Amino acid sequence: MKEKQQKLRKSVLKYAKPKLGASIFQLINTLVPLIILWFLAYKSLSISFWLSLPFSILASFFIVRSFIIFHDCTHYSFFKSNRANRIIGSFLGIITLFPYAKWQRNHSIHHATSSNLDKLGVGDIWIMTVKEYLEAPRLKRLQYRLYRNPFILFILGPFFLYLVTNRINRKNASMKERMNTYMINSGIIIIYMSIIYFIGLKPFILVQLPIIFLAGSLGIWLFYVQHQFEDSYFEREDKWNFVKAAVEGSSYYEMPKVFQWLTGNIGYHHIHHLSPRIPNYQLQKAHERTPLLQHVTKITIKTSLQALTFRLYDDENRRFISFKEIDQLLN
């Protein structure tokens, strides 16, 4: 088993090589359409907000695509140069409203602990096991129920993420991490205030608010279903395995080609967790040319909707259950 897992990890390493031309081209075909769509959304306001909204919706997908590049930069996988990854990643942090250094740290912990029931909590969607929930005080149960409510998670969640979580440094953050967050916060203020100065506050809100809201909701949804699907792998520390966590605990989210492109191939999340240094534009190739990965669990947009009913993880029966099921146990 170990030999097979080592062979699997080695088989995808050859794709963990960023190509400068491909990376630059992806930056261009992501940021240029974003700027054009933002401009069209603004210009359309003079006719109708409802004419402007479709452009904002399209622009939100390019914010998601920008985030995927930002995400690659935090893994040092988008450019060969770590310095180039930090510079471009921090710039995209301003565009996407994410602090580069802080998110890099949290996301690295997520990769090191994904599907480990004893180490969840940093860089993850909050998951409680049935046992943890039953032993938790009522206040914590209430907090968890509110957190897992789709309205709070996908509607209010983006605003809390943008305005609070991403703007404040963690307590024990290094000076380098703190300065990066301050720099990105300052960049956001400068860019936003400059745009507002030239076009006014109301037009800016009418264009930018739908873009960041939709991008945030979609981003949270993608992160949610990438690790919470039927038969998803979860294990305790003493039995946890990195390769199984990557291949069986991260989804292969099959989407129509246009959405796959707009979301930067992040649907191949099992490949990404198996080898985070693979740039997003190499993920599909790595999946298709690795025979050992042809039998991974696949979810579609339709089947992924089932994850909306997942509330707690039952580690004894290795499945997710709903609050209705846990309430029946309590009663």
- pLDDT of 1 > 60? The answer is no
For residue range 217-240, what is the model confidence (pLDDT) as tens digits? 999 999 999 998 888 899 999 999
Per-residue pLDDT at 230:
84
The residues with which 252 forms a beta bridge, in sequence order, are 268, 298
Q: What is the pTM of this model?
A: 0.94
Q: What is the average per-residue pLDDT within 211-217?
A: 97
Work out the mean pLDDT of the chain and round it to a whole number: 93
- Inter-residue contact 62 to 33 (CB < 8 Å): yes
Per-residue pLDDT at 219:
95
Length of the chain: 331
Higher pLDDT, 24 or 232: 24
Measured in whole angstroms, how far is the alpha carbon of residue 25 from the centre of its chain? 22
Per-residue pLDDT at 9:
83
- Inter-residue contact 52 to 209 (CB < 8 Å): no
Per-residue pLDDT at 4:
65
For residue range 291-309, what is the model confidence (pLDDT) as tens digits? 888 778 889 999 999 999 9
- Beta-carbon contacts of residue 255 (< 8 Å; ≥ 6 apart): 263, 267, 300, 301
- Residue boundaries of the structural domains of the chain: 2-330
Could you tell me the CA-to-CA distances from 235 to 125, 134, 167 in Å, in that order? 16, 19, 33
- Beta-carbon contacts of residue 85 (< 8 Å; ≥ 6 apart): 72, 73, 74, 76, 77, 78, 79
Per-residue pLDDT at 106:
94
Tokens of 213: 């809201």
Higher pLDDT, 10 or 76: 76
User: Rounded to an integer, what distance in angstroms lies between the CA atom of residue 67 and that of residue 69?
Assistant: 5
- pLDDT of 149 > 90? The answer is yes
**If pLDDT is split at 50, 70 and 90, which confidence band does 120 have?**
confident
Q: What are the phi and psi torsion angles at 324 (to 5°)?
A: -60, -40
Q: What are the phi and psi torsion angles at 267 (to 5°)?
A: -60, -25
Per-residue pLDDT at 280:
97
**If pLDDT is split at 50, 70 and 90, which confidence band does 283 have?**
very high
Per-residue pLDDT at 195:
97
**If pLDDT is split at 50, 70 and 90, which confidence band does 6 have?**
confident
**If pLDDT is split at 50, 70 and 90, which confidence band does 38 have?**
very high
Tokens of 208: 């930018």
Least confident window among 34-38, 228-232, 293-297, 314-318:
293-297
For residue range 81-116, what is the model confidence (pLDDT) as tens digits? 999 999 999 999 999 999 999 999 999 999 999 999
Could you tell me the CA-to-CA distances from 210 to 58, 151, 215, 273 in Å, in that order? 10, 16, 8, 31
